[in-house]
Amino acid sequence: MKLLLPLLLYSIQVTAITLVPTPPSVTADAYILQDFHSGRVLMEKNINKRIEPASLTKLMTAYLVFKKLKAGKIKLDDTVTISEKAWRMTGSRMYLEVNTQVSVELLLKGMIIQSGNDASVALAEFIGGTEEAFASLMNEQAKQLGLNGTHYVNSTGMPDEQHYTTVQDLVTLSQLLIRNFPEYYLWYSEQKLTYNNITQPNRNRLLKRDPSVDGMKTGYTEKAGYCLVSSAKREKMRLISVVMGTKSDKKRIRESEIILDYGFRFFETFRIYEANQPLDFAKVWKGDKKQFQLGLADILYVTIPKGQYNKLRATVFSNPYIIAPVKKGEDYGTLKITMGNQVVLEHPLIALNSVNKGALWERLIDSFFLFFY
| Phi, psi of 95, rounded to the nearest 5 degrees | 70, 50
Q: CA-to-CA distance for 283 and 293, rounded, in angstroms?
A: 9
Confidence of residue 6 (pLDDT cuts 50, 70, 90): very low
Please calculate the CA angle 322-315-297 and round it to the nearest 5 degrees.
65
For the segment 12-29, what is each residue's pLDDT rounded down to a tens digit?
A: 343 444 578 999 999 999
Report whether pLDDT(1) > 50.
no
Domain spans, the chain: 2-11+272-372, 28-246
Q: CA-to-CA distance for 136 and 177, rounded, in angstroms?
A: 19
% of the chain surpassing 70 pLDDT: 95
Query: The pTM is what?
Result: 0.90
Annotated active-site residue in 11, 38, 58, 155: 58
Average pLDDT over residues 217-235: 97
| Phi, psi of 176, rounded to the nearest 5 degrees | -70, -35
For the segment 278-316, what is each residue's pLDDT rounded down to a tens digit?
A: 999 999 989 999 999 999 999 999 999 999 999 999 999
| SS3 of the chain | CEEECCCCCCCCEECCCCCCCCCCCCCCCEEEEEECCCCCEEEEECCCCCECCHHHHHHHHHHHHHHHHHCCCCCCCCEEECCHHHHCCCCCCCCCCCCCEEEHHHHHHHHHHCCCHHHHHHHHHHHHCCHHHHHHHHHHHHHHCCCCCCECCCCCCCCCCCCEECHHHHHHHHHHHHHHCHHHHHHHHCCEEEECCEEEECCCCHHHHCCCEEEEEEEEECCCEEEEEEEEEECCEEEEEEEEEECCHHHHHHHHHHHHHHHHHHEEEEEEECCCCCCEEEEEECECCCEEEEECCCCEEEEEECCCHHHEEEEEEECCCEECCECCCCEEEEEEEEECCEEEEEEEEEECCCECECCHHHHHHHHHHHHHC
Query: In the Cβ-directed half-sphere of 334, how many Cα atoms lie within 13 Å?
Result: 11
115 counts as catalytic: yes
Question: How much is the pLDDT for 327?
Answer: 96
Report whether pLDDT(373) > 80.
no
Tell me which residue of 167, 137, 65 sits closest to 106, measured CA to CA.
65
Annotated active-site residue in 115, 120, 231, 241: 115
For the segment 328-362, what is each residue's pLDDT rounded down to a tens digit?
A: 999 999 999 999 889 999 999 999 999 999 888 88
For the segment 174-209, what is each residue's pLDDT rounded down to a tens digit?
A: 999 999 999 999 999 999 999 999 999 999 999 999
Question: How much is the pLDDT for 283?
Answer: 92
Question: How much is the pLDDT for 361?
Answer: 83
Task: List CB contacts of 240: < 8 A, sequence separation 6 or more.
Answer: 33, 34, 35, 36, 171, 174, 175, 178, 216, 229, 230, 231
Q: CA-to-CA distance for 28 and 292, rounded, in angstroms?
A: 51
Annotated active-site residue in 11, 55, 83, 241: 55
Q: CA-to-CA distance for 142 and 150, rounded, in angstroms?
A: 7
CATH for 2-11+272-372?
Answer: 2.60.410.10
248 counts as catalytic: no
Looking at residue 109, its amino acid is K
38 counts as catalytic: no
Fold of 28-246: Beta-lactamase (3.40.710)
Confidence of residue 367 (pLDDT cuts 50, 70, 90): confident
Question: How much is the pLDDT for 371?
Answer: 80
For the segment 142-153, what is each residue's pLDDT rounded down to a tens digit?
A: 999 999 999 999
Report whether pLDDT(216) > 70.
yes
